[in-house]
A and B are shown apart, each in its own frame.
Chain A
Amino acid sequence: MSLFGHPELIRLLLGVLALLVGCSLVGFVLRARALSPEARATAVNFVARTYAWWIMAGLFALALLAGRLGPIILFALVSFLALREFLTLTPTTASDHCAMACTFFLVAPAQYALLAIHWYGLYSIMIPVYAFLLLPAVNVLQGDTARFLERTAAVQWALMASVYAISYAPALLDLTIPGYETPPVTLLVWFLIVVQGSDFLQYVFGKLVGRRKIAPLLSPSKTWEGFAAGIGAASLAGTALWWATPFGPWRAALMALIITLMGFLGGLTMSAIKRDRGVKDFGTLVSGHGGVLDRIDSLCFSAPVFFHLTRYFYSTT
């Protein structure tokens, strides 16, 4: 297939495959050498995470094979799972039922349908403008004024984070960049490697050299050492892979740095929401990671910014 006739994409995917194999080997060694109960727990968690990475990478590879609609459908599914995790934790009442049904069956499918038909003018504003006005209107018709603003705002926020922000990842395929001859999905793969790699490296460096906690109240696992080393290493990786992007090495470095910093803020923000609701994870679907939303919290914050920066500086559409 033409998609795989491009050496850049093939090289990226083979690199991911090599990393996964490497992680599996490391997990195997860690588990064999773990003596203390803590080391054992860390090893088990690492193996579970690696297992989840395999599944995620496999699903993404399947989506690539399915053609242009593949990634759109995959991220639509991710949005659905994230939205349901988010709203499950949101203290809504029976009066919000109708508005919530609208987000699931009307707004979220519409967002991805608009992506599929390339209607940038509408998918970039539908949720912040039209859904923003529709949801309170639906809610107000229920006649329940108790905590009205709070409830409506929470449902809108759920929609922004889980659907609107996430949909910017497959929206990268919509960009037309002169001189960028590889299929646009290569840029999406590069972005996912940087953003997920940053999460992974922050976790690894946090475990290895992490000492001083950044925000002990928000997240017990985030340390200054893990942050600096993880962000630095992921940005370097993004720079090293500049040939897969329309950017030169320096701009790729800057983009990777912005992506990883936004991702870090996304992780912290989602942690704050979890602490506010008194839970550790959003769900249980992804082994070793918690819920889907726990895995993509960094994507939420980085995808829209990366899309708009790339579109503003590089795209003709």
Chain B
Amino acid sequence: MKTPVAEPLDVRVGVWLLVWLARLLTGVQVRWMAPLSNVRQRIYLANHTSHLDALVVWGALPQALRRMTRPVAARDYWDADPVRRYLAQRVFRAVLIDRSREHRQSDPLRDMLDALDEGLSLILFPEGTRGPGEAIAPFRPGLYRLARARADMELLPVHLANLSRILPKGSIVPTPLLSRVTFGAPIRLEPGESPDSFLERARRAVEALADA
């Protein structure tokens, strides 16, 4: 595991500002439905409805866990202009992955595995894109391949409520309603479990937290 290095001032200030801005804007209530295991490294699986999602999950984590947790984000969006590039690469240190198969320069699975091998945790949005916030879309098969490559890795379902109403797809101005983030009990890929049943089970684990 990597030894923590003191972060530069602009990163620390940037993180603090963004986490508090997100908290103010989303009035987020954090709930833990199961005690956290002693293992510190895990993959957080969250539903995806807004650009605030990664920031909200990240900001809800205890500080010690937050430092070792990186959101997995789309390169086509977060590498598009200098501001987003600065935020993604320097502040959140996101693991940027190429979504489109055609123009791919690196393998998303490889990028995620590399981060895990460094001892980092990941925040993953297995729907692959932001949804309208009503139903959770089927999870992408990449999650299965990731879970199979690291079968002992803990997968923690996370449900984000109301963020789609705060900053829906296509809006620039947020409405500061109240949101809620719920962390569930960990799941793992069972031996011999088929991709479809595993992906559906993971999706339902996230979905079930909505009414928990």
Chain A residues packing against B (C-beta within 8 Å) = 80, 84-85, 87-88, 92, 94, 97-98, 100-101, 104-105, 283-284
Contacts and interface: CB of A to CB of B under 8 A. Distances in A.
B27 interface: yes
B178 interface: yes
Given A92-B165, A97-B165, A284-B29, A87 B171 contact: no
Contacts of A84: 27, 176-178
B178 A104 contact: no
A283 B178 CA distance: 9
B132 A104 contact: no
B175 A104 contact: yes
Contacts of B168: 94, 97
A85 to B, nearest CB: 7
A283 B29 CA distance: 10
B177 A94 contact: no
Given A80-B176, A98-B173, A105-B173, 13 more contacts: A84-B27, A88-B162, A88-B165, A88-B178, A92-B165, A94-B132, A94-B164, A97-B168, A97-B171, A101-B171, A101-B173, A104-B176, A283-B178
B175 A97 contact: yes
A97 B175 CA distance: 7
Which are the 3 A-B pairs with shortest beta-carbon distances? A88-B178, A100-B175, A88-B177
B174 interface: yes
A163 to B, nearest CB: 14
B62 to A, nearest CB: 20
Q: From DSSP, what is the main secondary structure of chain B's interface residues? A: loop
A39 to B, nearest CB: 29
B175 A101 contact: yes
Interface of B: 27, 29, 132, 162, 164-165, 168, 171, 173-178
Contacts, number: 33
A80 B177 CA distance: 10
Q: From DSSP, what is the main secondary structure of chain A's interface residues? A: helix
Contacts of B178: 84-85, 88, 283
B5 to A, nearest CB: 38
Residue among A85, A88, A101 with the highest chain B CB neighbour number at 10 A: A88
A294 to B, nearest CB: 14
Contacts of B173: 98, 101, 105
B152 to A, nearest CB: 37
B31 to A, nearest CB: 11
25 contacts: A80-B176, A84-B176, A84-B177, A84-B178, A85-B178, A87-B175, A87-B177, A88-B162, A88-B165, A88-B177, A92-B165, A94-B132, A94-B165, A94-B168, A97-B165, A97-B168, A97-B171, A98-B173, A101-B171, A101-B173, A101-B175, A104-B175, A104-B176, A105-B173, A284-B29
A87 B148 CA distance: 43
A80 B176 CA distance: 9
A92 B132 CA distance: 13
Contacts of B27: 84
Contacts of A94: 132, 164-165, 168
Contacts of A97: 165, 168, 171, 175
Contacts of B29: 284
Residue among B175, B177, B178 with the highest chain A CB neighbour number at 10 A: B175
A100 to B, nearest CB: 4
A307 to B, nearest CB: 28
A88 B177 CA distance: 5
A283 B27 CA distance: 10
Contacts of B132: 94
B35 to A, nearest CB: 21
A9 to B, nearest CB: 33
Contacts of A283: 178
A84 B168 CA distance: 16
A84 B24 CA distance: 11
A196 to B, nearest CB: 24
Contacts of A80: 176
A101 B174 CA distance: 7
Nearest to B174: A101
Contacts of A101: 171, 173-175
A21 B163 CA distance: 41
